[in-house]
Amino acid sequence: MKLHTYLNYGGNCAEALRFYEKHLGAKILMMMTYGQNPEAAKANPESQNSILYARMTIGETDIMGSDVPKERFQPMRSVYLSLSVGSTDEAERIHKLLSEGGEIFMPMQETFFAFRFSMLRDKFGTSWMVIHERPAP
């Protein structure tokens, strides 16, 4: 059995995945619009350029995603993608990058469990925890 994360976006899925690919080292494996699917004629003409299905990897994790109608889209609540990095500098870089245009819930800081830890929602509506963990005692 394998558990995957599936993210919904309000019309900016392609932009979000390309951003993660450029800045987080993600790799887009597939991206299909409604207009590219074999049953495109059945799709709403307004959604032809919206993403029907996308898949990418970040590190060793697969993430899938698609666009939903803007009126149905809501930013993530009470769920986070937790991104563990190997250095304080990398944690600071990623926090700054993801928080730009987003909302910070917990500023980047040192904690008893991490050299650096933060919680935020990026400009695409995805919530993140960024952590450079301390070694377990």
Range among 28-42, 61-75, 104-118 rated most confident: 104-118
What is the model's pLDDT at position 123?
97
- The domain made up of 81-133 has a fold known as 3.30.720
**How close are the terminal C-alpha atoms of the chain, in Å?**
31
Sheet of strand 51-58, all strands in order from the earlier edge strand to the far edge: 5-9, 61-67, 51-58, 27-33
* Closest among 19, 134, 16, 17 to 84, alpha carbons compared: 134
pTM: 0.91
What is the model's pLDDT at position 137?
78
Q: Name every residue whose Cβ is closer than 8 Å to that of residue 95 and which is 6 or more positions away in sequence.
A: 108, 116, 118, 120, 130
pLDDT digits (tens, 9 = 90+) for 96-130: 999 999 999 999 999 999 999 999 999 999 999 99
Residue 67 pLDDT greater than 90, yes or no: yes
Residue 57 pLDDT greater than 80, yes or no: yes
Domain boundaries, the chain: 5-67, 81-133
Answer yes or no: CATH 3.30.720.100 is held by domain 5-67.
yes
